[in-house]
Structure 1
Amino acid sequence: MSTSAGWDRPRTSFYTDHYELTMLQASLHSGAAHRRSVFEAFARRLPDGRRYGIVAGTGRLLEGIANFRFGEAELDFLGRTGVVNQDTLDYLANYRFSGDIWGYPEGEAYFPMSPILVVESTFAEACMLETYLLSVLNHDSAIASAASRMITAAGNRPCIEMGSRRTHEESAAAAARAAVIAGFDSTSNLEAGIRYGIKTVGTAAHSFTLLHDTEREAFEAQVASLGPGTSLLVDTYDVEAAVRAAVELAGPRLGAVRLDSGDLVAQAQWVRQLLDELGNEDTKIVVTSDLDEFAIAALQSAPVDSYGVGTSLVTGSGAPTASMVYKLVSRTDDAGNFVPVAKAAKNKTSMGGRKYALRKLNDHGIATQEIVGIGRRPEDDGNDRPLLQQFMKNGELLPGWTGHEGVLRARQRHADTMAELPPVVNRLQRGEAAIPTIYEEY
């Protein structure tokens, strides 16, 4: 499936904060705006008790940076409200990001202080991306990290993203994309389907049953319209009566029954037994109802075939942000030489200097450390894996990181990185990061 060529990507320059533009104005005044600079996005820590995070949102971000422009409406607003002066407006009228961007590919695991994104350009170009960049990476990475834990808990059973009604309409499409990157099978969100080529699914809600005079009439209409392979929601009234009616109407080709309330473990067990007794051994059981990774893990012993996950997924399952920051770590001096820079604060650790990263692997191909080199690339023992890939060069998008192709590539990267991490990542219990981050200064 391919994305729609007709999707009109919005201009992204106003998905930012006022102070990005006042910094720009002041740096243009001082002459420092055009100094070459290196910014890095990273998380100082993982959400409390989490053992790893998953990078997501980079493809969306790259598309947004390509549309980071200031048109007539934006320039008029900035001038009319006095946000910036005329010299700054003249600069913004011709703004186009012309730098280089590297980062961890989407779907890759990250740990505290991993240099998830590295942006090199002029200060003027790079500083204005801060708010937009962080809003995308923080949201999508939080969703992907939660989704990854849910996929781990689900084992080989597929998960469906169904959280659109629990979040902002734009966040819903982004959440669906992030969830699929982390292993979800499909989404209920049509916007995500047309934008990113993601499989969409859905049948009926309780309101469809309540619309009809009887549950049987509702089932008859759904089967007649959508075919016997449809999924029938069987907990509006009496579950046993609904299952029996569903089998009678659709026969052994009934695709699935959905359970959305009650004791899902016990209910799934006796519904499975009833379906088998009625000759519907191939009819699947789908469960929904406020699932998270812990509820999914509790259902491992139940005869459930797939899970529909909503609220907990789109809110990051208790960690709605990845807490990433975007910091200037290096810039040129008056002689044109790069010098490391960093804020001095005891409670907000950051390291100056351009970073490079690789994942150290043991003889069995299992990750043991995240090595971050300051100043140059760390030494590779021969089986270690470099983590930073280039996404943009001289302001031009490199192929393969966006659209449907980018989603598929990220989904495979997630599967590969999870297979590479130590088994501790499969535990839902609170704990330290699965592997330590080690700095090497050169």
Structure 2
Amino acid sequence: MKELKNLNDVKDIKIDPERPLFSASHDEIIAGMTTDIYFIKTMEILRHMNISQKEVVAEIFPRKHGVMCGTEEVINILKNKNVEVYAVPEGETFEPKDTVVRIKGPYEEFGIYETALLGVLAHSSAWATAARACREAAGERLCICFGARHVHPAVAPVMERAAIIGGADNASCILAAKFLGREPSGTIPHAAIIMAGDTVKIAKVYNEIMPPDSPRIILVDTFKDEAEETINVAEALGKDLQGVRLDTPGERGGVTPDLVYEVRKRLDLKGYDYVKIFVSGGLTPERIKVLIEAGADAFGVGSYISGASPIDMTLDLKMVDGKPIAKRGRIPGMIDNPKLKRVK
């Protein structure tokens, strides 16, 4: 697929009426098909003026504090371009107005990718930042991203990979975990228990047929009182049971500190002090802290991470033909950041 060069190329784009999904393919992104149209018009004008090859320095900066993520995709988008790229490594923090990416080379080499580069960094960094807040709230306790169901499947692995970069221990999305050389984390949904009609039956079969490295953590809120079902499952699985998951819906008041406390005490009274309490459903860093005090051991966080607002990123040209320049309100010339590393 050829890179878009002009408005005629845009007009020539034909969409297959049988196309199953509306998300952009990798080739379409690299070809510039997700850019704002005015960058194509810009290249037409600059080429007409014979100035599109002027060497420039472009810098990207955020509007608020966050955790850097998306660097690897930035590198890959610019992989075959004649440019130098400097970036803050993934997982590092940044402050408002920090230079997080610097691109040096002919403007024609990368101009049409501004939209894609900013979008990659804005969303990935936001997801990583939200995950970092959960990580800090959870401390050393397990924290897994369960957010794939809240976003379009085309970006679900991007989001959950970003969550791991930000500090989540793992992801439930298969592709996200595989990108980072991990096995995805998760046990069973309510659907399995509803189909079988009984939590204990499912727990026994799960324990019997799942591989040894699949954690024995069982949902206990489907049909019965959570504390009652917890003991039922613990008695059925004994030492094999590693944990129970509380995911009480909002219609029932959600997972409260009192519920966690009761489940913990009832487990301890019956001698199941080794069974951990895993909580999911509507979690935030604030709720994580409160639930830890009540006795929770691990967390599955979804919408707090997946629903994080993008961190607004801006790209400015700061040098043209070796001369400092900037739009009004910005400082001409490069703004250094010691965290920047040469990545291409």
Q: Settle same-fold status: TM greater than 0.5.
A: yes
Counterpart of 1:285? 277
Using the size of structure 1 for normalisation, the TM-score is 0.67
Code of the residue aligned with 1:65 in structure 2: it is: L
State the Cα deviation string for residues 368-399 of structure 1 (Å, max 9, x = none). Answer: xxxxxxxxxxxxxxxxxx2110000xxxxxxx
Spell out the pairing of 1:281-360 with structure 2 (5 A cutoff). Answer: 281-316=273-308, 320-332=309-321, 338-344=322-328, 349-357=329-337
Q: Distance in 1 between matches of 2:289 and 2:330?
A: 37
Q: Which runs of 5+ in 2 are unaligned?
A: 1-24, 249-253
Structure 2 residue corresponding to 1:174, chosen from 138, 158, 170: 158
- Give the match's secondary structure for 2:342: strand
Counterpart of 1:233? 219
TM-aligned CA distance change 1:149 to 1:283, over 3 Å: same
State the Cα deviation string for residues 335-384 of structure 1 (Å, max 9, x = none). Answer: xxx1112111xxxx422212212xxxxxxxxxxxxxxxxxxxxxxxxxxx
Shift of 1:182: 1.5
- Give the match's secondary structure for 1:232: strand
Runs (4+) of structure 1 moved beyond 3 Å?
none
RMSD (CA atoms): 1.6
State the Cα deviation string for residues 231-283 of structure 1 (Å, max 9, x = none). Answer: 10001122133112211211022011000123431111111111122222211
Q: Distance in 2 between matches of 1:321 and 1:140?
A: 8
Counterpart of 2:112? 128
Question: Contact between 2:85 and 2:102, CA under 8 Å: does it hold in 1?
Answer: yes
Deviates more, 1:143-152 or 1:113-122: 143-152
Shift of 1:118: 0.2
Using the size of structure 2 for normalisation, the TM-score is 0.86
Code of the residue aligned with 1:289 in structure 2: it is: G
Code of the residue aligned with 2:143 in structure 1: it is: C
Shift of 1:185: 0.4
TM-aligned CA distance change 1:126 to 1:15, over 3 Å: same
State the Cα deviation string for residues 108-158 of structure 1 (Å, max 9, x = none). Answer: 111111011000010111212201100100000111111111111111112
Counterpart of 2:78? 65
Question: Contact between 2:144 and 2:300, CA under 8 Å: does it hold in 1?
Answer: yes
Q: Distance in 2 between matches of 1:328 and 1:277?
A: 66
Counterpart of 1:89? none
Q: Distance in 2 between matches of 1:64 and 1:245?
A: 53
- Give the match's secondary structure for 1:207: helix
Question: Contact between 2:247 and 2:255, CA under 8 Å: does it hold in 1?
Answer: no
Q: Distance in 2 between matches of 1:193 and 1:263?
A: 27
Counterpart of 1:372? none
Question: Contact between 2:246 and 2:255, CA under 8 Å: does it hold in 1?
Answer: no
Counterpart of 1:10? 26
Deviates more, 1:140-149 or 1:211-220: 211-220
Counterpart of 2:339? 387
1:151 corresponds to 2:135: yes
Spell out the pairing of 1:16-95 with structure 2 (5 A cutoff). Answer: 16-43=35-62, 45-46=63-64, 52-66=65-79
Q: Distance in 2 between matches of 1:263 and 1:189?
A: 23
State the Cα deviation string for residues 13-33 of structure 1 (Å, max 9, x = none). Answer: 223222222211111110110
- Give the match's secondary structure for 2:115: helix
* Number of equivalences: 309
Q: Distance in 2 between matches of 1:30 and 1:307?
A: 57
TM-aligned CA distance change 1:300 to 1:255, over 3 Å: closer
Q: Distance in 2 between matches of 1:34 and 1:213?
A: 67
- Give the match's secondary structure for 1:26: helix
Q: Which runs of 5+ in 1 are unaligned?
A: 1-8, 47-51, 67-95, 333-337, 358-385, 393-442
Q: Distance in 2 between matches of 1:343 and 1:309?
A: 41
Question: Contact between 1:105 and 1:388, CA under 8 Å: does it hold in 2?
Answer: yes
Q: Distance in 1 between matches of 2:272 and 2:292?
A: 22
Q: Distance in 2 between matches of 1:263 and 1:204?
A: 18
TM-aligned CA distance change 1:129 to 1:227, over 3 Å: closer
Q: Distance in 1 between matches of 2:326 and 2:334?
A: 11
TM-aligned CA distance change 1:130 to 1:227, over 3 Å: closer
1:253 corresponds to 2:248: no
- Give the match's secondary structure for 1:327: strand
Shift of 1:309: 0.3
Q: Distance in 1 between matches of 2:39 and 2:180?
A: 30
Q: Distance in 2 between matches of 1:224 and 1:18?
A: 57
